[in-house]
Amino acid sequence: MAHWLASGRRGQIEGVISRFDPVYWTVNFPRPMMASVVTIAPDALRVDAVFYRQDDLAGLIWEAEDRHDHPLLRYDTDRDFRGCRLRFRWRSAGVLALDQVSGPVLTIEGRDAAGNPRAWYVRLWNYASGTPEDALVSIDFASVQGGYLLPGEADPVFAGDVDRMFVSLVPDGYSGADAALAGPVEAWVELSDIACDGPGSVLAIGDVVVPEHGLQIANGYDDCYHLTPARVLRNALQLGYRGSILHYVGMSHYFRLEPNSGGYYVGLAGGTLNVACAAWHADFAVRAKALGYDVIWSLSYELLDRHCWNDWKQRAADGSPGLTGWSPPSALLSPAHAGAMQYLRVVALAFVGIAQGAGLAVKFQIGEPWWWVMPDGRLCIHDAAAKAELDDPPEQNVRGAVDTAVLDAAGALLAASTLALRDVVRWAPGAEVLLLAYLPTVLDRAMPELKRANLPLGWAAPAFDVLQLEDYDWAAAGNASASAKGVALAEARLGYPAAAQHYLAGFVLNTADKAQWRPIAAAAARGRARGVAATFIWALPQVLRDGFVHFEQEDEVDAFDDVLFPLALGREAEVAPEVSTAIVTSAGGRENRNAEWAEARLRYDVGPGVRSESDIAALLGFFRARMGPARGFRLRDPFDHHGEGEVLGTGDGVEARFQLVRRYGDVVRRITRPVGGSVRVAVDGLATEAFALAGGVVTLDVPPAAGAVVTASFDFDVPVRFAEDRLNVSRATYLAGAAASVPLVEVRE
């Protein structure tokens, strides 16, 4: 397996699209309202929206620069629209009509002919024919004019340097005031028969198709609600992801809201999902089915805090709510609260219904259900409902001494809530229910008993069809040791074999950390090597942002046999360190010397170790098994095979991986073949066994603190190969007391 971070196309295949193609429009809006855009025909789109406030405004947006697709799949940037003529049919309901004072306006943002930032406001009604709610709109960007009344208020538009343009949509009842509408306004707009002609009407677009590979993709609605489902799925498909899409329905955009005490809170009045979310997911499901995908619908125990009922929230003993570190934060729902858990069950059934309506097999994930832990270790099991169920337990700080009975009871309560959700989903015939556990939190070494509450035995197989494990903190840091130990503990505790597991690798939170894709790709490879049923990259929005491309390639043949040279070296064995130095002598006799190798390369002649006929037989057999120089092997150097207190590096609080090295003054030699069981590691002089060894790399379970010195003592072998294709030895050689010549050369690793 291999990966590439693409920053743009470099000769890869392209296609063309018409400017204003329905697939590539987006929406944007302020909270608490919600809107979505879907394609309803090759030349048509539909916006669904729900408005709650008198100043709510949604924008239907076309951008000159594609900032949303993968770099290999983006359309080209062209800010000059003067060669374009756009026309479409407008139909709407629930929004102010085209002829109204605050009716739909096309806002064009860019720069004027002199390069000064400008915005123009083009009233669509000035370019429409028909009725205010069903009209044909035609705009020639070479001559379009802003202004409310034309020609008296005409404001000529310079469309030669445009960043974006958007159609503003406001609800019936809009006043611009910071006040609630009399009730939620559900609205829709359709643009059909969209056509763009003229010399600037066509854009090149990346049309790369990465071959199908063995990874699957995860996605999150909260990160792609503004895009069309067709656009999201095009990226997934053409980047080679097949099988299932793990789709997190989110915690901030799917719900309906009801006003209460000056705020808006999730509710079920009028239905379960808001109209925008329902329309988007219905389209997403149908398109996924048509492309051959399964969809795993993921629902978590989180809600955006500002819309979550106060009595639904998990709380610490001092009453503080359990809130995530996102901005704005989400609140963790209490597994003990009947209303909160009933709400999740109703939401789950809504998405099950969407899957069934599209003809998809029902696959549903219960995502990361847990009791929240405050940064200082306090467990959030003290909301009113939890206190009633747990007999008002004393405060538990999982970073210190705990009452294990309390944690076991909390775990049983959590498990019961997930099993109740499982059973509701299983009302759907053939439904598969999966559970997702986030290992770095539930198996934190600083909180060893937390697994009682957050990895409860009530989840043990066969409670769920599939156990999904994610460890993106460890994966992104390359902490393979912590990942392996976490997986082993989860398997031992819950009993799901690898074939009944999925693994989620990633993700990269910030684009500045895109170097983390390398260890994430390596973690995905390890997941597949374990034999899990599916391995997912989390998640598509970050894949698109950073240009991550995964592709399969033939695994390199490991031309090394991890075996030791079978003969003891005689006293006459030769060791010859070899360097490569370029020396240039000037006319005046001065020398310029350049060391072309970073360290010496060793050559050996081990012929003097051959002392008997049995030695010759062993040597010949070993040579044949290695196919001469084709395969490397280990050699114990009699003169240099031990390192004592070697400094591997200094901690920074993040890095956990350190290469074994042997130091010779300022020259550093990488040690890649340590002797098993001989490696002893210390951090600031304190011995530790909390590490894993892979090749010559030590991975500590916990990254050492900034400034902490990591040292190691170890025995090691030298990776070598036979230096020649032919081996000359004879009985006469050792009978005469002459040493055969068996040259070996060090292999760089």
Q: For 718, list phi and psi in degrees, rounded to 5.
A: -105, 130
Cα first-last separation, the chain: 20
Distance of CA 518 to the CA centre of its chain: 12
Distance of CA 148 to the CA centre of its chain: 47
Find out whether 160 and 113 touch, Cβ atoms under 8 Å.
yes
**Which position has the token pair 């066509």?**
202
Mean pLDDT, residues 146-174 taken together = 97
* Residue 248 tokens, joined: 């997190």
Query: How far is 21 from 37, CA to CA, in rounded Å?
Result: 13
Find out whether 410 and 334 touch, Cβ atoms under 8 Å.
no
Q: For 279, list phi and psi in degrees, rounded to 5.
A: -65, -45
pLDDT at position 601 is 86
CATH assignment of 12-206, among 2.20.25, 2.60.120, 1.10.287, 2.60.40 = 2.60.120
What CATH code is assigned to 216-550? 3.20.20.80
* Residue 268 tokens, joined: 């079920």
Residue in 378, 340, 179, 180 with CA at minimum distance from that of residue 251: 340
Query: How far is 407 from 394, CA to CA, in rounded Å?
Result: 11
Mean pLDDT, residues 24-39 taken together = 97
Mean pLDDT, residues 141-147 taken together = 97
Mean pLDDT, residues 745-749 taken together = 89
* Residue 61 tokens, joined: 């947006």
pLDDT at position 30 is 96
C-alpha distances (whole Å) from 375 to each of 303, 499, 602 are 20, 35, 52
pLDDT in tens, 222-269: 999 999 999 999 999 999 999 999 999 999 999 999 999 999 999 999
Residue in 213, 278, 219, 273 with CA at minimum distance from that of residue 246: 219
Q: What are the extents of the domains in the chain?
A: 12-206, 216-550, 560-637+722-746, 642-716
Q: What is the overall mean pLDDT for the chain?
A: 93
* Candidate ranges 92-106, 500-514, 515-529, 713-727; pick with highest mean pLDDT: 92-106
Statement: residue 521 has pLDDT above 50 = yes
> Of 424 and 580, which is predicted with more confidence?
424
Residues 6+ away with beta carbon under 8 Å from 47: 27, 35, 36, 37, 58, 60, 169, 188, 189, 190
Query: How far is 390 from 384, CA to CA, in rounded Å?
Result: 10
pLDDT at position 196 is 97
Statement: residue 570 has pLDDT above 60 = no
pLDDT in tens, 297-354: 999 999 999 999 999 999 999 999 999 988 899 999 999 999 999 999 999 999 999 9
Statement: residue 162 has pLDDT above 50 = yes
Vertex 360 angle, CA 354 and 365, to 5°: 75
pLDDT > 90: percent of the chain: 80
Query: How far is 562 from 564, CA to CA, in rounded Å?
Result: 7
C-alpha distances (whole Å) from 640 to each of 554, 602, 716 are 37, 11, 9
pLDDT in tens, 68-89: 999 999 999 999 999 999 999 9
* Residue 695 tokens, joined: 């090749």
**Which position has the token pair 């799901």?**
496
Give me the DSSP letters along 455-501.
S-GGG-TTSSSEEEEE-HHHHHHT-HHHHHHHHHHHHHHH---GGGE
C-alpha distances (whole Å) from 344 to each of 190, 305, 310 are 32, 15, 16
Distance of CA 355 to the CA centre of its chain: 24
* Residue 199 tokens, joined: 């010399």
Mean pLDDT, residues 485-489 taken together = 90
pTM (predicted TM-score)? 0.84
Statement: residue 737 has pLDDT above 50 = no
Query: How far is 527 from 505, CA to CA, in rounded Å?
Result: 8
Statement: residue 739 has pLDDT above 60 = no
Alpha helices (H) along 363-468? 384-389, 404-425, 439-442, 451-454
Radius of gyration of the chain measured on its C-alpha atoms: 33
Mean pLDDT, residues 459-482 taken together = 92
Mean pLDDT, residues 425-450 taken together = 92
Mean pLDDT, residues 659-666 taken together = 92
Q: Give the pLDDT band of residue 673 (cuts 50, 70, 90).
A: very high
> Of 2 and 403, which is predicted with more confidence?
403
Statement: residue 738 has pLDDT above 60 = no
Query: How far is 433 from 468, CA to CA, in rounded Å?
Result: 11
Q: How many CB atoms lie within 10 A of CB 244?
A: 21
Query: How far is 551 from 355, CA to CA, in rounded Å?
Result: 30
C-alpha distances (whole Å) from 651 to each of 445, 648, 690, 691, 694 are 19, 10, 15, 14, 19
Mean pLDDT, residues 656-676 taken together = 91
Residue in 416, 408, 411 with CA at minimum distance from that of residue 371: 411
Mean pLDDT, residues 638-657 taken together = 91
> Of 648 and 605, which is predicted with more confidence?
648
Statement: residue 736 has pLDDT above 50 = no
Mean pLDDT, residues 203-215 taken together = 96
Query: How far is 111 from 118, CA to CA, in rounded Å?
Result: 5
